[in-house]
Chains A and B, each alone.
Chain A
Amino acid sequence: MDVSQYLEIFIDETKEHLQSLNEQLLVLEKEPENADTINEIFRAAHSLKGMAGTMGYKIMQEVTHKWEDVFSEVRNGKMKVTPDLVDVLFKGLDKLETILDNIINAGNEGDDKCEELIAQLIGFVNGGGAAPAAAAPAAAPKKKAPAKTAAPAEPAAVATETKSEDSSKEKFRQFKYADFEQHAINKAIDEGTNAFGITVYIQESCLLKAARAFMVFKKLEEMGTIAKSEPAVQDIEDERFDLDFSMVFLTKEGADRVKQAIMNVSEVECAYVSALSKDEVESATIKEESAQTDSGAADATATATENKPTATQNAAATAGKPVVNRSVRVDIEKLDDLMNLVSELIIAKNGLVSLNAQQDEVNHAVGNAMGPQIEYLERITTNLHQSVMKVRMVPLESVFNRFPRMIRDVSKSLNKKINLVISGEETELDRTVIDEIGDPLTHLLRNAADHGIETAEERAKTNKPEVGTINLNAYQEGNNVVIEVKDDGNGIDVEKVKRKAIEKGTISKEQSEVMTDKEIIDLLFKPSFSTAEKVSELSGRGVGLDVVKTNIEKLGGDVEVRTVLGGGSNFIVRLPLTLAIIQSLMVEIGTEKYAIPLGSIQTIEDIPVSDLKYVQSREVIHLRGSVIPIIRLNQILDIESTKGADDNLTVVIVSKGDKLAGFVVDNLIGQQEIVIKSIGKYIESPKMISGATILGDGEVALILDVNTLV
Chain B
Amino acid sequence: MAEAVAANSVESKQYIVVVLGSEHYGVDINFIDNIVRMQSITRVPKVQPYFEGVINLRGEVIPVMSLRKRFGLEPDEVTGKTRILILKPEAQGSIGIIVDSVKEVLTLANDNIDKPSAKGIDDDKANFLTGVGKNGDELVSILNIMEVIQDKEEEE
Q: Are B59 and A680 in contact (CB under 8 A)?
A: no
As a 0/1 sequence over residues 66 to 85 of chain B, the CB contacts with chain A under 8 angstroms (1 = contact) are 00000000000000000000
**Which of the candidate stretches A11-19, A259-267, A484-492, A694-702 sits at the interface with the other chain?**
A694-702
Which of B45, B53, B150 has the most chain A CB atoms closer than 10 A to its own CB? B45
List residues 653-710 of chain A with CB under 8 A from any CB of chain B: 677-686, 688-689, 692, 694, 698-702
Q: Are B150 and A683 in contact (CB under 8 A)?
A: no
Given A680-B63, A682-B149, decide whether A638 and B54 contact each other with a Cβ distance below 8 A: no
Report the Cα distance A685→B154, complex, angstroms.
13
Tell me if B112 is interfacial: C-beta within 8 Å of chain A.
Answer: no
Residues from chain A with Cβ under 8 Å of B103 in the complex: none
Tell me if A592 is interfacial: C-beta within 8 Å of chain B.
Answer: yes
List residues 118-156 of chain B with CB under 8 A from any CB of chain A: 149-151, 154
Residues from chain B with Cβ under 8 Å of A698 in the complex: 56
Distance between A349 CB and nearest chain B CB, rounded to angstroms? 13
Residues from chain A with Cβ under 8 Å of B95 in the complex: 680-683
Q: Are B47 and A694 in contact (CB under 8 A)?
A: no
Q: Are A702 and B44 in contact (CB under 8 A)?
A: yes
Distance between B67 CB and nearest chain A CB, rounded to angstroms? 13
Interface size class of B (residues with CB under 8 A): 20 to 34
Tell me if B55 is interfacial: C-beta within 8 Å of chain A.
Answer: yes
Tell me if B106 is interfacial: C-beta within 8 Å of chain A.
Answer: no
Given A694-B56, A702-B42, decide whether A680 and B93 contact each other with a Cβ distance below 8 A: yes
Report the Cα distance A692→B42, complex, angstroms.
10
Residues from chain B with Cβ under 8 Å of A683 in the complex: 44, 47-48, 51, 54, 63, 65, 95
Q: Are B47 and A678 in contact (CB under 8 A)?
A: no
Report the Cα distance A689→B43, complex, angstroms.
12
Please, which residue of chain A has its CB at the minimum distance from the CB of B40?
Answer: A699
Distance between A591 CB and nearest chain B CB, rounded to angstroms? 10
Tell me if A435 is interfacial: C-beta within 8 Å of chain B.
Answer: no
Report the Cα distance A685→B46, complex, angstroms.
8
Tell me if B12 is interfacial: C-beta within 8 Å of chain A.
Answer: no
Q: Are B63 and A679 in contact (CB under 8 A)?
A: yes
Q: Are B55 and A682 in contact (CB under 8 A)?
A: no
Residues from chain B with Cβ under 8 Å of A686 in the complex: 44-47
Given A692-B54, A694-B61, decide whether A700 and B46 contact each other with a Cβ distance below 8 A: no
Residues from chain A with Cβ under 8 Å of B44 in the complex: 679, 683, 685-686, 689, 702
Tell me if A344 is interfacial: C-beta within 8 Å of chain B.
Answer: yes
List residues 328-347 of chain A with CB under 8 A from any CB of chain B: 344, 347
Given A685-B44, A692-B42, decide whether A700 and B55 contact each other with a Cβ distance below 8 A: yes
Please, which residue of chain A has its CB at the minimum distance from the CB of B60?
Answer: A677
Q: Are B48 and A700 in contact (CB under 8 A)?
A: no
Residues from chain B with Cβ under 8 Å of A694 in the complex: 56, 59, 61
Report the Cα distance A699→B44, complex, angstroms.
13
Please, which residue of chain B has its CB at the minimum distance from the CB of A637?
Answer: B45
Given A679-B63, A681-B90, A683-B63, decide whether A700 and B47 contact each other with a Cβ distance below 8 A: no
Report the Cα distance A677→B95, complex, angstroms.
15
Report the Cα distance A95→B62, complex, angstroms.
46
Q: Which of B40, B46, B62, B154 is in CB contact (< 8 Å) with A680?
A: B62
Residues from chain B with Cβ under 8 Å of A678 in the complex: 61
Report the Cα distance A681→B48, complex, angstroms.
13
Residues from chain A with Cβ under 8 Å of B151 in the complex: 682, 684
Residues from chain A with Cβ under 8 Å of B65 in the complex: 682-683
Report the Cα distance A686→B54, complex, angstroms.
13
Please, which residue of chain A has its CB at the minimum distance from the CB of B148?
Answer: A682
Given A692-B61, A698-B56, decide whether A638 and B46 contact each other with a Cβ distance below 8 A: yes
Tell me if B94 is interfacial: C-beta within 8 Å of chain A.
Answer: yes
Please, which residue of chain B has its CB at the minimum distance from the CB of A681?
Answer: B93
As a 0/1 sequence over residues 15 to 58 of chain B, the CB contacts with chain A under 8 angstroms (1 = contact) are 00000000000000000000000001011111110010111100
Given A347-B59, A699-B56, decide whether A684 and B48 contact each other with a Cβ distance below 8 A: yes
The list of the 3 closest CB pairs from A to B, nearest first, reads A681-B93, A683-B63, A686-B46
15 CB-based A-B contacts, threshold 8 Å? A639-B45, A677-B61, A680-B54, A680-B95, A682-B93, A683-B54, A683-B95, A684-B48, A684-B151, A688-B45, A692-B54, A694-B59, A699-B40, A699-B42, A700-B42
B binding-site residues for A, Cβ under 8 Å: 40, 42-48, 51, 53-56, 59-63, 65, 90, 92-95, 149-151, 154
